[in-house]
Amino acid sequence: MTTSPVRPPESRPAPAAPTWPDATGHFGVFGGRFVPEALIAALDELTEAYEAMKVDPAFLEEFAALQRDYTGRPSPITEVSRFAEHCGGARVLLKREDLNHTGSHKINNVLGQALLTKRIGKSRVIAETGAGQHGVATATAAALMGLSCTVYMGEEDTRRQALNVARMRLLGAEVIPVTTGSRTLKDAINEAFRDWVTNVETTNYVFGTVAGPHPFPAMVRDFQRVIGDEARAQLLEREGRLPDAVLACVGGGSNAIGIFTAFVPDEGVRLVGLEAAGDGVETGRHAATITGGSPGVLHGARSYLLQDDNGQTIESHSISAGLDYPGVGPEHSYLHDIGRAEYRPVTDAEAMEAFALLCRTEGIIPAIESAHALAGAMRLGREVGPDALLLVNLSGRGDKDVETASTWFGLGDREEVDPGPGLDTDQQPTEGAVSNDEAVAGQDAGEQA
Partner 1 sequence: MSALQQRISAARAEGRAALIAYLPVGYPDVDASIAAMVAAVEGGADVVEIGVPYSDPGMDGPVIQEAVDVAVRAGVGMRDVLRAAEAVAAAGAVPVVMSYWNPVERYGVDRFAADLAAAGGAGAITPDLIPDEAGAWIAASDAAGLDRVFLVAPSSTPARLRSTVAASRGFVYAASTMGVTGTRATVGDAAESLVARTRQAIADVGTDLPVCVGLGVSDGEQAAEVAGFADGVIVGSAYVRTLLEGRGPDGVRGLSEDLARGVRQRAGAPA
Which residues are identified as catalytic? 106, 128, 395
**Number of residues engaging partner 1 in binding (CB under 8 A):** 34
Q: Look at residue 125 and give its three-state secondary structure.
A: strand
Q: Is 317 in the site for partner 1 (CB under 8 A)?
A: no
Q: Is 252 in the site for partner 1 (CB under 8 A)?
A: no
The alpha helices in 5-76, defined as continuous H runs, are 40-53, 57-66
* Strand bridging mode 389-394 / 91-96: parallel
Site for partner 1 in 327-366 (CB under 8 A): none
Q: Is 431 in the site for partner 1 (CB under 8 A)?
A: no
In whole angstroms, how close is the CB of 180 to partner 1 at the nearest point? Answer: 6
Q: Which of 11, 19, 310, 448 contacts partner 1 by CB under 8 A?
A: 310
d(CA 352, CA 405): 8
Site for partner 1 in 154-193 (CB under 8 A): 180-181, 186-187, 190, 193
Q: Which is nearer to partner 1, 39 or 168 (CB)?
A: 39
- Is residue 134 within 8 Å of residue 106, measured between CB atoms? yes
Q: Look at residue 89 and give its three-state secondary structure.
A: coil
Q: Which of 240, 311, 363, 386 contacts partner 1 by CB under 8 A?
A: 311
For the chain, how many residues are written? 449
Q: Which is nearer to partner 1, 38 or 162 (CB)?
A: 38
d(CA 97, CA 296): 31
- Reference 187, options 305, 348, 367, 313; nearest CA is 313
Q: Is 2 in the site for partner 1 (CB under 8 A)?
A: no
Q: Look at residue 165 and give its three-state secondary structure.
A: helix
Q: Is 41 in the site for partner 1 (CB under 8 A)?
A: yes
Quick note: the x/- pattern for partner 1 over 191-230, rule CB under 8 A, is --xx--xx-xx-----------------------------
Quick note: the x/- pattern for partner 1 over 256-295, rule CB under 8 A, is ----------------------------------------
Q: Which is nearer to partner 1, 99 or 301 (CB)?
A: 301
- Is residue 265 within 8 Å of residue 290, measured between CB atoms? no
In whole angstroms, how close is the CB of 296 to partner 1 at the nearest point? Answer: 5
- Residue 440 to residues 292, 348, 399, 436: CA-CA distances in angstroms? 37, 22, 11, 6
- Name the helix (H) or strand (E) containing 297: strand 294-298
Q: Look at residue 405 and give its three-state secondary structure.
A: helix
Q: Look at residue 272 and give its three-state secondary structure.
A: strand
Q: Is 65 in the site for partner 1 (CB under 8 A)?
A: no
- Is residue 409 within 8 Å of residue 418, measured between CB atoms? yes
Q: Is 307 in the site for partner 1 (CB under 8 A)?
A: yes
Q: Is 299 in the site for partner 1 (CB under 8 A)?
A: yes
In whole angstroms, how close is the CB of 39 to partner 1 at the nearest point? Answer: 8
Strand ranges for 134-292 from DSSP E: 148-154, 174-178, 203-205, 245-250, 270-280, 285-287
- Is residue 104 within 8 Å of residue 167, measured between CB atoms? no
In whole angstroms, how close is the CB of 297 to partner 1 at the nearest point? Answer: 4
Q: Is 42 in the site for partner 1 (CB under 8 A)?
A: yes
Q: Is 49 in the site for partner 1 (CB under 8 A)?
A: no
Q: Which of 313, 316, 320, 361 contacts partner 1 by CB under 8 A?
A: 313
Q: Is 23 in the site for partner 1 (CB under 8 A)?
A: no
- Name the helix (H) or strand (E) containing 390: strand 389-394
Q: Is 13 in the site for partner 1 (CB under 8 A)?
A: no
Task: Give me the residues that bind partner 1 (CB under 8 A), please.
Answer: 24, 32-42, 180-181, 186-187, 190, 193-194, 197-198, 200-201, 296-300, 307, 309-313
